[in-house]
Amino acid sequence: MAAHLSYGRVNLNVLREAVRRELREFLDKCAGSKAIVWDEYLTGPFGLIAQYSLLKEHEVEKMFTLKGNRLPAADVKNIIFFVRPRLELMNIIAENVLSEDRRGPTRDFHILFVPRRSLLCEQRLKDLGVLGSFIHREEYSLDLIPFDGDLLSMESEGAFKECYLEGDQTSLYHAAKGLMTLQALYGTIPQIFGKGECARQVANMMIRMKREFTGSQNSIFPVFDNLLLLDRNVDLLTPLATQLTYEGLIDEIYGIQNSYVKLPPEKFAPKKQGDGGKDLPTEAKKLQLNSAEELYAEIRDKNFNAVGSVLSKKAKIISAAFEERHNAKTVGEIKQFVSQLPHMQAARGSLANHTSIAELIKDVTTSEDFFDKLTVEQEFMSGIDTDKVNNYIEDCIAQKHSLIKVLRLVCLQSVCNSGLKQKVLDYYKREILQTYGYEHILTLHNLEKAGLLKPQTGGRNNYPTIRKTLRLWMDDVNEQNPTDISYVYSGYAPLSVRLAQLLSRPGWRSIEEVLRILPGPHFEERQPLPTGLQKKRQPGENRVTLVFFLGGVTFAEIAALRFLSQLEDGGTEYVIATTKLMNGTSWIEALMEKPF
């Protein structure tokens, strides 16, 4: 079960159950024992939908990773390929099928395309002469995967690059399809707002798809009041800055993949007496991070500086709870104490884990270099010295710090200055090429194409206007008891979230001028509802807005939206959807190109 998905305002377990049902139905179509051949990229996201036990219930006996040559031996009736619709994968599948041993027992082949069946791929299979070998060729429309009670992601790594660099809208089409699925389960969303070129396209596709479905009137009472589509390139700044929430920092430092994080094992060594401590575990410690864990749900979105006090408070409560046993006199009291033990032990384990993680993070955040980097970032974001070559960046290059770190900083400076002066830009580029190698010229081209790095045109720096109007920089930030979203970056309020906040109150009309400066059109569409389904809001009832980040979202932005949901007089609760959960590092990495 995935109980944590149903905690939120919108029960996302409904979605999970729907996709699980679809998977079961497909598996049952292929009667008999089965082996699944996986496109490796899919295993992570699938893990959030169905564990091995579900597959096993449906006679899946073996699992392989898709690779060339002959398939491993398996005494099963069906071989099912779970793949993304990509041509290079089709070639591998064809190789598998063709090298199948003719003398052995015949096995049935099936193919399940995730998330969409593709004519192009089927044509390729046909050209390779294997299309006829497949009995079932179906699609499994797993677009939006529920990650948490208020979080959905498509986990499509290349989405930003495809949309903004290569003019490939495939992921936008999938996003629109995913939104249609969502509407089929949770009712038509009456109002759509959007900002950006891609947002416009997704909205257009949704409207078009709705026309294709005329006839099957959706009779579900709408759960979402609004949909806000936001292009990542409307706010290029936020992901570049270092996230300062607990979850954000875990992601920045260790990288969270499909809600799992791998941590260095030393801190998690079981503390035993005697010489047991000598053989430290060498395998990375893998932990799942979601709101199913009570403690994590409480601290994940806090500024890291506020996490320590919560942890120590929790420690006191737990040890006090364990001390209770001395007060338990009667058999009844002891019984009650014992019944609480499992819960207490789980809480203690979770506390121990997070104390260790917090220590690991603290080692990083208290380092001098982290402090220097943060200072530079904050200077840029508050508009100080963005127009000249920065000393710290120069030093980082000279000492050959990681290239991604350098690129993040240079891009941040460029974005905070609406582009760099040609001289400054060329200087940075030259330094990077000389130090890290000429081949990175391709990466630099990509960054320029995406608008992350650019020469200032027209000699005007728009960023100060945007910063002031949207109040992106707050000097008096309270990290312990925040009053504004800017706590997630200790001063900087993420632009994307500010747009969402202003949309709900007082509305975008108040910031028309800034919206015109930001790239892409802004728009509003209404999807009329039949009179029976129109909502009569109870007094004090919050609206529910689905915010869809096209091109990726960071954990800090999610934290900021959750903060807004929890505001007492906020009036709006947010559910977040995205093409990919990301951070500045994974983002830049996806844009890098290595020719060898």
Partner 1 sequence: MAPGALLLEAQKEYEKESQKADEYLREIQELGQLTQAVQQCIEAAGHEHQPDMQKSLLRAASFGKCFLDRFPPNSFVHMCQDLRVLNAVRDYHIGIPLTYSQYKQLTIQVLLDRLVLRRLYPLAIQICEYLRLPEVQGVSRILAHWACYKVQQKDVSDEDVARAINQKLGDTPGVSYSDIAARAYGCGRTELAIKLLEYEPRSGEQVPLLLKMKRSKLALSKAIESGDTDLVFTVLLHLKNELNRGDFFMTLRNQPMALSLYRQFCKHQELETLKDLYNQDDNHQELGSFHIRASYAAEERIEGRVAALQTAADAFYKAKNEFAAKATEDQMRLLRLQRRLEDELGGQFLDLSLHDTVTTLILGGHNKRAEQLARDFRIPDKRLWWLKLTALADLEDWEELEKFSKRQEGCALPSPSASFCGDLHETTQQI
**Cβ closest to partner 1, residue 69 vs residue 399:** 399
Residue 135 interacts with partner 1 (CB under 8 A): yes or no: no
Dist CA 56 CA 43 (whole Å)? 15
> Site for partner 1 (CB under 8 A): which residue of 38, 436, 508, 523?
436
Contact string (CB under 8 A) for partner 1, positions 191-220, x = contact = ----------x--xx--x--xx-xxx----
Amino acid 73 reads: A
CB of 189 to partner 1, least distance (A): 19
CB of 119 to partner 1, least distance (A): 4
**Cβ closest to partner 1, residue 3 vs residue 120:** 120
Contact 194, 229 (CB under 8 A): yes
Dist CA 393 CA 412 (whole Å)? 11
CB of 89 to partner 1, least distance (A): 12
**Cβ closest to partner 1, residue 202 vs residue 581:** 202
Dist CA 219 CA 278 (whole Å)? 64
**3-state class of 390 per DSSP?**
coil
What is the layout of strands, in order, in the sheet containing 256-257?
256-257, 260-263, 285-288
Residue 119 interacts with partner 1 (CB under 8 A): yes or no: yes
Near partner 1 by CB under 8 A, which window of 16-24, 356-364, 431-439, 489-497?
431-439
CB of 396 to partner 1, least distance (A): 10
Number of residues in contact with partner 1 under rule CB under 8 A? 49
Angle subtended at Cα 476 by Cα 473 and Cα 482, rounded to the nearest 5 degrees: 95
> Site for partner 1 (CB under 8 A): which residue of 18, 87, 317, 364?
87
**3-state class of 383 per DSSP?**
coil
Residue 528 interacts with partner 1 (CB under 8 A): yes or no: no
Residue 350 interacts with partner 1 (CB under 8 A): yes or no: no
> Site for partner 1 (CB under 8 A): which residue of 6, 181, 288, 435?
435
Dist CA 67 CA 527 (whole Å)? 46
Residue 300 interacts with partner 1 (CB under 8 A): yes or no: no
Residue 313 interacts with partner 1 (CB under 8 A): yes or no: no
Residue 551 interacts with partner 1 (CB under 8 A): yes or no: no
Residue 454 interacts with partner 1 (CB under 8 A): yes or no: no
**3-state class of 460 per DSSP?**
coil
Residue 530 interacts with partner 1 (CB under 8 A): yes or no: no
> Site for partner 1 (CB under 8 A): which residue of 57, 426, 513, 541?
426
Residue 40 interacts with partner 1 (CB under 8 A): yes or no: no
Q: Which of 73, 60, 160 is nearest to 112 (CA)?
A: 60
Phi/psi of residue 417, nearest 5 degrees: -125, 15
**Cβ closest to partner 1, residue 87 vs residue 284:** 87
CB of 157 to partner 1, least distance (A): 15
Contact 229, 199 (CB under 8 A): yes
- Residue found by looking up tokens 């001063």 in the block: 491
Pairing label, strands 151-153, 285-288: unpaired
Contact string (CB under 8 A) for partner 1, positions 394-423, x = contact = xx-xxxx-----------------------
Residue 126 interacts with partner 1 (CB under 8 A): yes or no: no
Q: 263 CB contacts (<8 Å, ≥6 apart)?
A: 254, 284, 285, 286, 287, 356, 357, 360
Residue 283 interacts with partner 1 (CB under 8 A): yes or no: no
Residue 434 interacts with partner 1 (CB under 8 A): yes or no: yes
> What one-character DSSP code corresponds to residue 399?
T
Residue 596 interacts with partner 1 (CB under 8 A): yes or no: yes
DSSP codes, 503-565? HHTT-GGGGHHHHHHSSS-EEEEE----GGG---PPTTPPEEEEEEEET-B-HHHHHHHHHHH
Q: What six digits make up the tokens of 513?
A: 């001028």
**Cβ closest to partner 1, residue 167 vs residue 459:** 167
Contact 577, 426 (CB under 8 A): no
Q: Which of 577, 590, 587 is nearest to 10 (CA)?
A: 577
The binding site for partner 1 (CB under 8 A) comprises: 85, 87-88, 116, 118-120, 123, 162, 166-170, 172-173, 176, 201, 204-205, 208, 211-212, 214-216, 391, 394-395, 397-400, 426, 429-431, 433-439, 441-442, 445, 595-596
